[in-house]
Structure 1
């Protein structure tokens, strides 16, 4: 079983795929050629059969990890008895064209004294299901499988023969590198190159590093955020950029799969896809930071999905897609993998793609409306797609569904799904009025008002004095923390304030928020889960809008203490404070940005 905690990782990437690096210098998660491709290194989910790419000192040591300021370049520093060294990991950003060629660059440096590093490159292709061969070429190695090839290029200077020794063992490569103070060497692992391994000179390697640092700082210079929490907001923005598939603009929910919401439990999902909901939320967050290009790119991605049309009873939008817009997401298990700390099954694919989740139409329309208000022009084809989506929603919103949390306990009339259906029609009406667009205004108005009345009559529970999760129960749901943000009710409305108090009493534990209570609301799965970090930041936002600023700031600052050592968040937090679920999660970082921007504005 892997001993490394979920939170003990940093993230690097090239805008088409990404890798996780442990605080002990091991890349234990990497998929190629893109986020949703089969894994090459997967020790995160099976220490014996998953594969890894590790560089660490040969003797006893301690380690610390940090990011090179304002970049996605990760530095892991090691301290041993004889010296201090570091491994600098980065992936040079890819351009906008989809490519199978990706590079992981690992710079190895001795800072003080002397230090010997041991390196092992042990790929396990296709989730460990494919055999491969390791072939030596000069001082490099080529790893070949039927699915993919990797080439290991050494970073060397003339006369370096005495510094390193390489040996092959089975299909793995082992290298020992002995350095003294000031010496810098490294390796570059490249996928699908037609060239054999070559010796990369230090000058070329340094230029690769400088180019990567320069790219990230140039991108970040576009940020307009000048608020109180610049460091953590900046890290969240970089993380969102790392999770965006540059060729299409699709944002993956996380770069990982199978990380459990409960240790040893079955809530282990594949998040390497683009959810309409998550990506829609990204538009307002990115616009708030000044990243208009990314918001526009997602708008194009969303428009393409709507224009592609039907997805069964889910209407013109699927819940989630592959990064290229495909919908082949059949869920299956990997029975040969033990799972993170024994949490099985390990699943690839995601059957939630076939669910009916009505809220996605509201989130999609809200993102289009936000872009419209920011000055982005919606072309005729885009408005035609909007009309088609709303026409479908008008015929289907009043039915049971699976809901935002993708429960597997059957369909219900979820209040949040109705709320976001109201948002969809409201935003469509606003845009039609502002721009004089042709639209069935009377019908949309009737639909919007009917949903409003239904939520007030059936979603409000008189005994609980709160809006509840669905119409046939009295359970609470943290998704409704977004109600005042949508404008459905004023943020100081007594009905909403009573709901906020009820959620605070039943679902909040010292700023940490459960999305719902699985024990009270059977969701079709065994076990329980941690608190949901998205909801914890949404709670901050709701407190701000209720003018409870002292509580909001305290809750926000507490949530910041749950970030890992480099400012990253998984999906959930266990009662012990340990991070759980897929990592890092885009949804959480989006909510953090929203809360920080809103709190900054409220504090003045």
Structure 2
């Protein structure tokens, strides 16, 4: 039955490539923002069950169990209700809006009974602007309007009223500033609604139009999915991750949001509740590798174009020529505020919108940006002259600033440090710039870049490796381990069989790994300015798979990867973190997690197919795994 706050994992995602909605396993849309990902919520009961608003469709008058699945190879979500009286389905999707930015978005909710007879109740209670803006209900003919100062929702009814003999099978009632509809359906009967953002007249949608909209949406997703070139061992999970990433891409600009939600906690009841509805240079740069590896060159090119626009706009500031994150349209106004009127997911407060980390200095983004630009270049997405000149300016800036204390990849709020990962990725940035300059004969500060790249390498070896721990550590003067350093061999900074790396990997095994799950660092050993704890990071767990495989521990790598797949939700989706008992934590679904899954699957396939000097794994106390 319905929960006041469903588990974070009890959701599927639908979207139209400009915004998205979460649908819980009880048929409730409890998160939806319009007109785009980073706009105010219309339905937000996921972060406040009383004030957030919802759109629920579920059986009434009977006990039921639910099952959810995606129509294969699509983003069309089916929620099935199984009862003693019959089996019904709610089919949710959004027609795809691939062109220019638009304020018109449509959520389609089809309801049908496939066995027996069932009574469904649908209730729509929008709450505009995160529940801060009042609205008025305007019933009109075959539907209704929900009108606020800044946005109007229009509800269209599907089909003629259903009659059972001479009796109408449904009724409509006004509940507060919302509507409740109750309808009885028998085997084979279909009804539904279209909820449209925009001030248009409510109308009666024919079943033919509904079916055509469904078929067009199915066709789009299947044709897109068929473009994938991945033929490896984990095709179903990779395909679902790719579709999920596509759902989190803002089509007008090619920007990828880190997640479509805000305020979902890293620890239930804690304060680590962030707004992830923006495009991080880091996260989106990782997407280039995933997209290229699956054959989605067009999407990779779109993001590189978006990134180059940000580099073109860049001006030197204390936080560097690039911001660490932007809105999906490329603007950088991300002032962080707290929604004091909202109670938060299961009392996890504060609920934040905007992100105060946007002005932080995080040096690693330059490495991720340059690695994605270099990778795109090797696949035919070359930099124009103007783009190269801005890249050159950016790398010259980095030569002057790579040794500056910064906040690091995890956006800690405990003060700047000289993070090893930031230095390592600065090395990557200069190394990729050198390669591009050589490959194309472009003008560059070549000698300087080489000199600073080598200085960074030597500094990391001098101050980033702790001889007592026999491991690379989080920052200069620290002995704390950091899972971000799992990327060192992946990006060529160190060979995966180097003794310095093998001992680092062993230290990470001992301290940060819990079965297949990996913590990003130990907050108790490295204060980050926040209270409370957190779960393991799914991103880091998939990085661990790749590091194991490249270090010759193939059997372990495959087992860890297979175990990680068991932590996905029922639809194959991941949040940011995984808690002690396997629960999903943090914003959902998380782009980082799905990008890392794809990259780990592709790389592990390659290692398994080509061999990596197999080494039989042993338990840490020396006993072999039989």
Q: Is this a same-fold pair by TM over 0.5?
A: yes
Residue 153 of structure 1: aligned partner: 156
Instruction: Tell whether 2:344 aligns with 1:324.
Output: no
* 311-320 vs 285-294, greater mean Cα deviation: 311-320
Instruction: Tell whether 2:293 aligns with 1:291.
Output: no
Instruction: Tell whether 2:518 aligns with 1:516.
Output: no
Distance 2:531 2:344 in 1: 17
How many residue pairs are counted as aligned between the two chains? 603
Q: Report how far residue 311 of structure 1 moved.
A: 6.1
Residue 190 of structure 2: aligned partner: 184
Distance 1:96 1:506 in 2: 48
3-state SS, counterpart of residue 505 of structure 1: helix
Conserved 8 A contact 1:422-1:448: yes
3-state SS, counterpart of residue 485 of structure 1: coil
* 345-354 vs 167-176, greater mean Cα deviation: 167-176
Instruction: Tell whether 2:232 aligns with 1:231.
Output: no
Distance 1:399 1:222 in 2: 43
Residue 121 of structure 2: aligned partner: 118
Residue 613 of structure 2: aligned partner: none
Q: Report how far residue 184 of structure 1 moved.
A: 0.8
Conserved 8 A contact 2:5-2:345: no
Distance 1:159 1:542 in 2: 59
Conserved 8 A contact 1:311-1:318: no
Match for residue 302 of structure 1 among 290, 303, 307: 307
Instruction: Tell whether 2:168 aligns with 1:162.
Output: yes
Q: Report how far residue 309 of structure 1 moved.
A: 1.3
Conserved 8 A contact 2:78-2:89: yes
Q: Report how far residue 147 of structure 1 moved.
A: 1.5
Residue 46 of structure 2: aligned partner: 44
Instruction: Tell whether 2:435 aligns with 1:433.
Output: no
Distance 2:191 2:132 in 1: 33
Residue 134 of structure 1: aligned partner: 137
Give per-residue Cα distances to partners, 1:82-124, cap 9 Å, x unaligned: 1110000000000220000000000001001101100000000
Residue 75 of structure 1: aligned partner: 78
Residue 89 of structure 1: aligned partner: 92
Distance 1:235 1:157 in 2: 36
Q: Report runs of 4+ in structure 1 exceeding 2 Å deviation.
A: 157-161
Distance 2:386 2:190 in 1: 54
Conserved 8 A contact 2:18-2:101: yes
Conserved 8 A contact 1:541-1:552: yes
3-state SS, counterpart of residue 330 of structure 2: coil
Give runs of aligned pairs for residues 213-228 of structure 1, distance below 5 A.
Answer: 213-228=218-233
Residue 493 of structure 1: aligned partner: 498
Q: Report how far residue 376 of structure 1 moved.
A: 1.5
Give runs of aligned pairs for residues 544-583 of structure 1, distance below 5 A.
Answer: 544-583=549-588
Give per-residue Cα distances to partners, 1:364-411, cap 9 Å, x unaligned: 000000001112221101111210110111111111000000000000
Instruction: Tell whether 2:36 aligns with 1:34.
Output: yes
Conserved 8 A contact 1:82-1:115: yes
TM-score norm. by structure 1 comes to: 0.99
Distance 1:198 1:83 in 2: 30
Give runs of aligned pairs for residues 189-204 of structure 1, distance below 5 A.
Answer: 189-193=195-199, 195-204=200-209
Give runs of aligned pairs for residues 99-498 of structure 1, distance below 5 A.
Answer: 99-157=102-160, 162-193=168-199, 195-310=200-315, 312-498=317-503
Distance 2:339 2:123 in 1: 25
Distance 1:76 1:33 in 2: 25
Distance 1:323 1:406 in 2: 20
Distance 2:205 2:354 in 1: 38
Distance 1:189 1:246 in 2: 21
Q: Report how far residue 157 of structure 1 moved.
A: 2.6
Q: Report how far residue 313 of structure 1 moved.
A: 1.0
Conserved 8 A contact 1:71-1:213: yes
Conserved 8 A contact 1:478-1:535: yes
* 305-314 vs 491-500, greater mean Cα deviation: 305-314
Question: RMSD between aligned alpha carbons?
Answer: 0.9
Q: Report how far residue 286 of structure 1 moved.
A: 0.4
